[in-house]
Amino acid sequence: MPDIQSPLVGTVRSLSAVPDELFAQGVMGPGVAIDPPDEVVDAVAPIDGTLLQVFPHAFVVVADDGLAVLVHLGLDTVQLQGEGFTVFAAKGDRVSAGTPIIAYDVPAVRAAGRATIAPVVVLERSSEDVTVLAALDAGIRPGLPLLSV
């Protein structure tokens, strides 16, 4: 199974650093979070697959083997109703790892008072199934290995 690539540029953080209990406690699934720089960045597909869901602030890609990865851009960003996000892809689209899905206006989201950290979690897997490949608290950019299942 190919590695899950980073969907964003930024600094890799432990999920426990996410100021949201569901993500921090791993309820949503195992993974990491990426703290993006204060600029507009593209969120890209972390794996090859089909977009199961696409919202302005989040998306899920499912690989042909059923592996599903959630990328959630910021916290409580659903309340922004799309402000600060530009969506490039739609539910049902086939994507390759690295395909831009959403442009994320980090300064606009921060100005709206929302946390901008972006959890990247593997759905329906346990923490024992997932290995973090990237160094925590280190910089990363899209396309670099992030997680292994």
Is 57 a catalytic site residue?
A: no
CA–CA separation, 32 vs 36, rounded Å? 13
Set 6, 20, 61, 72: catalytic member: 72
Q: What burial class does residue 64 get, using C-beta atoms within 10 Å of its C-beta: 0-12 exposed, 13-18 middle, 19+ buried? A: exposed
Burial pattern 77-91, b for ≥16 Cβ within 10 A else e, equals: beebeeebbebebee
Cβ contacts of 85 within 8 Å, gap of 6 or more: 56, 57, 73, 77, 102, 103, 104, 105
Question: Any idea which residues carry the catalytic annotation?
Answer: 72
